[in-house]
Chains A and B, each alone.
Chain A
Amino acid sequence: MVNLGVKLKDLSLKNPVMTASGTFGFGEEFEDFIDLSNLGGILVKGTTRHHREGNPYPRMAETPSGMLNAVGLQNKGVENFCKDIYPRIKHYDTNILVNVSGSVIEDYVETAAMINELEHIPAIELNISCPNVKEGGMAFGTSCASAASVVKAVREVYKKHLMVKLSPNVTDITEIAKAVEAEGADSVSLINTLLGMAIDAETRKPLLSTVTGGLSGPAVKPVALRMVWQVFNAVNIPIVGLGGIMNAKDAIEFILAGATAIQIGTANFIDPQVTEKVVVGIEEYMKRHNVQDINDLIGALQIQ
């Protein structure tokens, strides 16, 4: 028996495979396809302080080896989550993490404080890629100062594991990672979607209602791997790697680059059973390479 269990500081995962926020609903959407208790953790939809309708249609465009989305954080707000959704999903035998978003610091703080009270939610993932309305629309996660300020404020009210999800739309992601580590983040997850756009040459129109949107899928994998590797060499807190993971081989690559755990997003749309297959595939890889403990693979990239 090989050991697949990993720890993100105090947070134990039975294996390193988690799902990416916004691609896995509340987990319920996948109950027909897989046994959620086989996963290390699930990330539920981006949750905000208040109800959000999200962006108008069209919200999605397929691109070479990937897709662009402009969902715009459609969700019913944190109160609805606590009252209606949480009681339905809290029995899952896996770590349930809530992805928390906001456009002003107060919203992040209030949302995190409410989720702090939920017994079966051991951690939140702070999504700092949303535009900061007060500072003129620039994303919190694109400057060290604003990233630090939101993490600092949430850290004061949130007592459990605080994961911070980093945006790749920056010049130097290690600076942001160091800034959130300094303010008390317990782990970082990366990457969120890369800003992109798609045009229909025939109609001369953009394919998304918002013109630009977030790119995900295998198209972003090399960028994501590079960023995980850079952040691994810059911080001491554990890293959760994601971006374009389609199979166990991709997952292993992220772990070798320094990720303690990984998340799977877009791949769930193409194969709703992919997460379970990745768990099995990681185990097979370990047996094939005679590795007893997954922890021996974290950051084990051999240069030269």
Chain B
Amino acid sequence: MNYLCLDLFLTDIILLGTMKKLVQDFEVLQRKELNDDHFVLDVKALEPLPEIRPGQFVNVLVKDSNTTFLRRPLSIHFVDYERNTISLYIKKIGDGTKKLGELKEGDSLNIVYPLGNQYSIPNNANTLLVGGGCGVAPLLYLAKHLKEAGNNVTTLLGVRSEKDAVELDAYKEYGNILVTTEDGSFGEKGYPTQHSILEKEKFDYVFTCGPEPMMKAVAAYSAQNNIPCEVSLENTMACGFGACLCCVTETTEGNKCTCTEGPVFNINDLKW
């Protein structure tokens, strides 16, 4: 067992014992449009926020959508304890996320949180974060925690073109930010796993979230180079807190719930 597994294992035990899940109304503070289909929603808790760990997610109730029956799971993009806010980074996919994109300042949003496990946080290591699409969502808050634990942080974002390379300044607060674009309009041309940094630098830990083919490529790079790697998975979720068993991922130890035993998994535990 490598250190990363051990780390995750220990923190999980502590977390399971202490983290109470809540269902609360939040107030929308602002909605920032990032480009055509991505936006960030800042929502303010009416009571002091509990401890929230990087990699965890929320399950939000969408109102006024005929086709949205269940809640929508969204990663926690950032937590600002001073403002008592959670930020969500959302891509408009269907009616549920579209309706979230119409929320205005002062609107209320009902949220079940904090859900899921967390990325493990090493100390004083050289860490690489790879994100693509709306999978970048959990990486900002992760970058903050990694930096605070004394790690060197490099965030590598893979996007389609320049207009999708958003929030770069936010990542810069916590370390180095690199971008690949599919059309070559910004940063290096290609996919994140083709970026030259992977040849140049040696990383101790890799964390990734994004489309499955991208995460599989990142996992393959990590496995080849013997670097511990954690991925954040999506799945079809009805409840988000372990009650329905609708969200299983196949692991080396049998089916596991993505919502309670994930969404963060070490690649060694997955049947990839």
Contacts and interface: CB of A to CB of B under 8 A. Distances in A.
A272 B259 CA distance: 15
B21 interface: yes
B26 interface: no
Nearest to A59: B246
B62 to A, nearest CB: 10
A-side interface mostly: loop
Given A33-B21, A67-B238, A272-B112, A54 B69 contact: no
A64 B67 CA distance: 6
A32 B20 contact: yes
Contacts of B246: 59-60, 69, 71
Nearest to A66: B69
Contacts of A65: 69
A64 B70 CA distance: 10
Interface stretch (B28-36, B85-93, B169-177, B247-255): B247-255
A269 B247 CA distance: 13
Contacts of A45: 245
A59 B259 CA distance: 14
Interface residues of B, number: 30
B147 interface: no
B23 A23 contact: no
Given A32-B20, A71-B246, A270-B61, A62 B69 contact: yes
A176 B80 CA distance: 58
A200 interface: no
A232 to B, nearest CB: 29
Interface residues of A, number: 34
B170 to A, nearest CB: 31
B242 interface: yes
Contacts of A271: 23, 61
Contact of A60 (B68, B247, B249): B247
13 contacts: A23-B244, A25-B242, A45-B245, A58-B236, A59-B245, A59-B246, A62-B70, A63-B69, A69-B238, A69-B244, A74-B248, A269-B243, A271-B23
A29 B241 contact: yes
Interface in B118-154: none
Interface in A200-229: 217
A285 interface: no
A169 interface: no
B237 interface: yes
A273 interface: yes
A59 B247 contact: yes
A217 B242 CA distance: 18
